[in-house]
Structure 1
Amino acid sequence: MQNTDQIHSPVLTAFPLATQYSDIMDALRSAWAEKKRSLKKVDKRDNEHMKGLMSSVFMDSVYPLLHSTSLPAYKWADIETENARWEAIANFMKTNRESSVLAGHLLSPDTMHKPFDMSELTYDLCSLYTQNR
């Protein structure tokens, strides 16, 4: 039986968007490497644990960056904008290491985010095929 309902998965929804920004993917890579270093060998062999951990790392690092208003808009080949983005991402990652993402960033009164949209949480598998028509 095939099901075409929307899937509740912020990771599936946000990952294709994140791949468009090399600096955000670098932040994910460094957060993943840092998290992976602290794992035991037994945990590294458990595929389900690694999938959950990757999802957790993505939601703690990339997801808030994609919806932050403090991150300057991406402009290709603009050195000043790239440097400002790198600085904002580095500050976010430093804050994220020192405290949880929820306490340090998402609930902080100093941080602004884009308005919430339900499409951030649901992945529509059929949208890939219906957009081309």
Structure 2
Amino acid sequence: MKALLALEDGRVFSGYAFGASWEVSGEVVFNTSMTGYQEILTDPSYRGQIVVMTYPLIGNYGINSVDVESTGPQVAGFIVREKSPMESNWRSEESLENYLKRHGIMGLARIDTRALTKHIREKGAMRAVMSTTDLDPASLVEK
């Protein structure tokens, strides 16, 4: 399903939603870790934020009930370049997509996370809106 990410400075990125499909807003920040996305999702320091992962492939080892930092996910949204179509780890209990869907968290894939991260690094952290329901860039920027 098509989705948009609109930053408060007017920059808009187009991608595809996974997990929950709706609209969410929050401060957009980035994380450069190659692994540990489950810990990032459940880290209370990311509460209410939209987290961009700079490593290009996320979701390949799934989600388990052991590697959590809190009782549930804390992020408002999760952005990746490419979401792995399957998980492959003996500890995996569910896919990243199912986990996000179960917790009502919107994910966004197939956007240029390098360009987004560079923009955030140069301009500073800013508010953003991710949406599958409103696909009008001008409307999202106003929100």
TM value normalised by structure 2: 0.25
Instruction: Return the structure number with greater helix share.
Output: 1
Larger radius of gyration: 1
